[in-house]
Amino acid sequence: MKKTRVINSNISRVIAQMGHFDTIGIGDAGMPVPADTEKIDLAVEAGLPSFIQVLENVLSELEVQKVYLAEEIKVQNPEQLAAVKKVVGDTPIEFIPHEEMKKDLSDTKAFIRTGEETPYSNILLESGVVF
C-alpha cells in the first residue's frame, strides 16, 4: 500500500503522468467539465470532501509552479481565496476570468470534482519540476 497521502488511484495516476507545464483542475460540484476531459468525481454530498481538503491532498504530492484562480473569487468568495493563499504559500497565483477557466479545462490532464458548494472554488495547478 502507498505510504504517501494521495491514495486515490486515479488522482495518483494523473499526478504520476504530469509533465512540466501540464495542468490539473480541482473544483466545486457545479463546475462544468468538458466531455473530453477526465473527471475524477470525489463528491459524496454537499461539502464532502471540501475543495481545500482535496487541494491540500494533491499539493502533498504534486510539484506546482503556478496556480490559476477565477478573477471572480476575489469578490464572490474572499474566504476561500484566503484559504487557498494559505495552502499554496509562495506559489504564484494568476487570476483569469471564470469563463476562460472553463475553456482551459479542455487542456487539463484531469479535473477533480469535490463536494464543495461555494462560488468559484476552482483552481488549475500548473506542474513544475523537482530538479
Whole-number Å distance between alpha carbons of 117 and 59: 21
Long-range contacts of 81-89, Cβ-Cβ distance < 8 Å, separation of 24 or more: 83/52, 84/52, 84/55, 84/123, 87/52, 87/55, 87/56, 87/59, 88/59, 88/64
Kindly report, residue by residue over 19-39, the tens digit of the pLDDT.
Answer: 999 999 999 999 999 999 999
Answer whether residue 2 shows pLDDT above 90: no
Catalytic residues: 20
pLDDT band at 3, cuts 50/70/90?
A: confident
- 57 marked as part of a ligand binding site: no
- 90 marked as part of a ligand binding site: no
Please report the domains of the chain, with CATH numbers, ordered by start residue: 22-127 (3.40.1650.10)
- 127 marked as part of a ligand binding site: no
With beta carbons less than 8 A apart as the criterion, state whether 61 and 12 touch.
yes
- 122 marked as part of a ligand binding site: yes
Give the three cell numbers for residue 34: 468538458
Answer whether residue 130 shows pLDDT above 90: yes
| HSE, side-chain direction, 13 A CA sphere, residue 57 | 17
